[in-house]
Copies of this chain bind each other. A is one copy, B any other.
Amino acid sequence: MPKPLHITFLFYEGMTALDAIGPYEVLSRLPEVIVQRVALNKGQVRTCSGLTLIAEHALTEISQTDVVLVPGAGNATALRECPETLTWIKTIHEHTLWTTSVCTGSLILGAAGILSGVKATTHWAVMHRLANWGAIPTPNRFVTDGKIITAAGVSAGIDMALYLAAKLTNEHVAQSLQLGLEYDPEPPFDSGSPDKAPQILVQALRERLKNRFEPE
């Protein structure tokens, strides 16, 4: 394992903040890591919920990394990443140890051309769209296929990051990070997946997201 380990978070306009910040809070606490925040242009990046983050690096400044994480977005417009970003993902992926995504970030990995024949997951409401890029839709909290790890919707990035933290170090380090973040979830409702939530809510949300993500 190279030391220090370089971990790069891709930011882009319209991304979902928690997709990146959940894993960020886990992975940035690993020992001997250099964490980088990169976007097409360095500077302010506005997320889908109005929060603004700063990317310290432009894509052209980062040509190699050990781990890359691509967050998802709240609609297809934000996902229509420019050719420069897709080319950057495809190129940097060649030499990563791990290429990862959260939520609809896997659709960007797909658009970048690196999911062909790869088992992958995404947000439950757009799972079928993975096949557009030749990926094998695999509903799960997160899915590992070779060096590619894709996580399900938004909050799944935290679970994926703990798994990745253990892979990059060892289980004790990952467990200690979990303890530090007091990640012992007790959701007040049991409505976090389409097989558990009231079906009327599932249908309404599926319809709403369908409108946001189709047609492209």
Contact = CB atoms under 8 A, between A and B. Distances in A.
Given A18-B25, A166-B188, A183 B155 contact: yes
Interface residues of A, number: 61
Tell me how many chains of this kind the complex includes.
2
Interface stretch (A62-70, A92-100, A201-209): A201-209
A194 B181 contact: no
A35 interface: yes
A213 interface: no
A179 B154 contact: no
Contact of A181 (B28, B153, B188, B204): B153
B123 A182 contact: yes
A196 B10 CA distance: 34
A162 B154 CA distance: 15
A88 interface: no
A188 B161 CA distance: 10
- Of A37, A44, A181, A182, chain B has the most CB atoms within 10 Å of the CB of A182
Contacts of A16: 25
Contacts of A188: 159, 162-163, 166, 174
A2 interface: no
A176 B187 CA distance: 13
A13 B99 CA distance: 31
Interface string A181-194: 11111111101111
B166 A181 contact: no
Interface string A116-148: 000000011000000000000000010000000
A4 interface: no
Contact of A201 (B24, B152, B175, B205): B175
A108 interface: no
Contact of A18 (B22, B35, B175): B22
A82 interface: no
Top 9 closest A-B pairs, CB basis? A153-B182, A184-B192, A175-B191, A185-B185, A52-B54, A18-B25, A28-B49, A184-B193, A183-B192
